[in-house]
Amino acid sequence: MESCNEDLLNDHTYANIGQIAVDKHLNDHNYNIPKKIQICKSMFLQTLAISDKVITNICINLKISPILPEDLRGKFKRQSTMNSEVNKYITEHINSFPTVDSHYIREDSKRKYLESGLSMSKMHRLYLDWIKEKSTLDPKVLNATLRQYTDIFNNNFNLSFFKPKKDQCDVSVFDLQKVLTTPQGEVGSFYYKRKFATYNFTVYDIGKKQSYCYMWCESDGKRGSNEIGTCLLKFIKFMKENHGISEFSFYSDNCAGQNRNRYIYSMWEYAAFIHKVNIRHTFLEKSHTQNEGESVHATIECAKKGTIIYVPMQWVTLVQSAKVTKQPYLVIQMSNNEFLDFKCLVENQQFNWKTSTNKNVIKCNHVKEVSILHERPFLIEIRCHDIIHFKPKVAYTGKIPTEKLKVKDLLSLCDSGLIPSVYHDFYRSLSFE
């Protein structure tokens, strides 16, 4: 490459030297490695990891001067072209979206999630509509690109778009669906407001291939062990009275706050004693919690696309019609005074939760299966106690107050006319903290 007498290329193209086009067919180019062993052009370029253009430029420069110019690669720092005002307003816009809770988020996770209806391109479109209202801004701010928006989102925030997972006897599986928010729809202003929550707890009867969806809104109940336990007790009672089922096998994930805790175990004992049934509850291994219940949730997520939901009651209608083939989902609406308090069964009495009858240390988060027989309803794998005279109390004495800022956001959607007036009474009747 340093010799002026030998060309390095056999390039059958045209090269511009000044204003004169020179046909490279007039030249014969040889490619050599240091020991003057002739090789093909492709091997030469790939070995040095360079392009055709690099060699062409070298040959042109050698014809002009035998001294090669200094290599300037890596000496030019790319200047940031993003206007500081662009950064400021994009950051402000991203911060205006409320984050949502995920049923799948670990407690120690610092990542926050935006609702599943959003995407990067949709947020950028919303930004362009949002920024147009600030008519006095620099045109560069108004013309912020999707790439600029994406860069700030990825580099300055620990956010992600929540995507519902399809974790794919009476043998039954149960699971709580991710929060269904109201109002819901492709309306830009909806994304900037806190929303009212509706919960769907699904029990799937594998034998009959029937789904039971127990639904309630956040003013009627929370989503803890009392709510889950009440729905399961209601399911057992229904199956015993209507189908004569006395053997139950349940499968669920390992969520400690909802499924794998002493309050649910106490509820199983109570159900076995009251309804004279045998119950086995098996916890699926982590990362292997795919079940039919979450297939139901995935179907509901698909059904909601393109649908506008103004009040929680419309979620009931959507779930009932989500299944277009085979048996529709059976929806059971739960009211505030139906939820029972099973915690008092554990907390109001002194029971040993530390060791088993064999003096082994009990670790609730290590329990793989719980079995209760109605002949021995006072004995489970981890402890026994007396439930003969126990009668669960109602968990709530009234409607649960809604967060004040959430009510403010919902009422602002009513006042702006984005929620039709026929639904205003529901939101104006909400009590707040």
pLDDT digits (tens, 9 = 90+) for 228-273: 999 999 999 999 998 888 889 998 887 777 777 888 888 888 898 8
CB 34 within 8 A of CB 23: no
Lowest-confidence segment of 132-141, 264-273, 319-328 by average pLDDT: 132-141
**How many C-beta neighbours within 10 Å does residue 40 have?**
10
Residue in the block written with tokens 């029971």: 351
Among 16-20, 87-91, 382-386, which range has the highest average pLDDT? Answer: 87-91
Q: Does 79 score more than 70 pLDDT?
A: no
Tokens of 15: 């090269």
**Number of neighbouring beta carbons within 10 Å of residue 185:** 16
The band of 9, judged by pLDDT with boundaries at 50, 70 and 90, is very low
pLDDT for 203: 92
Across 1-40, where does the E strand assignment appear? 14-17, 20-23, 31-33, 37-39
d(CA 199, CA 294): 14
- Cα 220 from Cα 227, distance rounded (Å): 10
End-to-end CA distance of the chain: give it in Å, rounded.
79
User: What pTM was estimated for this model as a whole?
Assistant: 0.58
What mean pLDDT do residues 135-152 have?
Answer: 76
371 or 289, greater pLDDT: 371
Using the predicted structure, report yes or no on whether residue 332 has a pLDDT greater than 90: yes
Report whether pLDDT(5) > 60. no
Please give the pLDDT value at position 350. Answer: 47
pLDDT of residue 115: 77
Element (H, E) at 209: none
pLDDT at 388 over 60: no
pLDDT-derived band at 223, boundaries 50, 70, 90: confident
- Determine the average pLDDT of the residues in 345-364: 66
**Higher model confidence: residue 29 or residue 293?**
293
- Higher pLDDT, residue 335 or 137: 335
Tokens 């290599």 map to which residue?
71
- What confidence score (pLDDT) does residue 304 get? 86
φ/ψ of 405, rounded to 5, equals: -65, -30
Task: Give yes or no for residue 285 having a pLDDT over 50.
Answer: yes
Report CA 371 to chain centroid distance, whole Å: 33
Task: Identify whether the C-beta of residue 289 lies closer than 8 Å to the C-beta of residue 253.
Answer: yes
Look at residue 1 in the predicted model and tell me its pLDDT.
Answer: 46
Q: Which two tokens stand for residue 270?
A: 């109570």
Tell me phi and psi for residue 366, to 5 degrees.
-105, 0
Mean pLDDT of the chain: 78
Q: Are 338 and 233 in contact (CB under 8 A)?
A: no
Structure confidence by residue, pLDDT tens digits, 157-200:
888 876 654 433 457 788 888 888 888 887 777 878 888 999 99
Q: What is the DSSP-derived secondary structure letter of residue 399?
A: P
367 CB-side CA count, 13 A: 29
Return the pLDDT at 30: 66
What are the C-alpha distances in Å from 411 to residues 222, 268, 308?
A: 22, 42, 17
pLDDT at 408 over 80: yes
User: Which residue(s) pair with 252 in the sheet?
Assistant: 283
* Phi (first) and psi of residue 292, to 5 degrees: -65, -30
Query: How far, in Å, CA of 188 to CA of 209, rounded?
Result: 38
pLDDT at 262: 81
pLDDT of 381 > 60? The answer is no
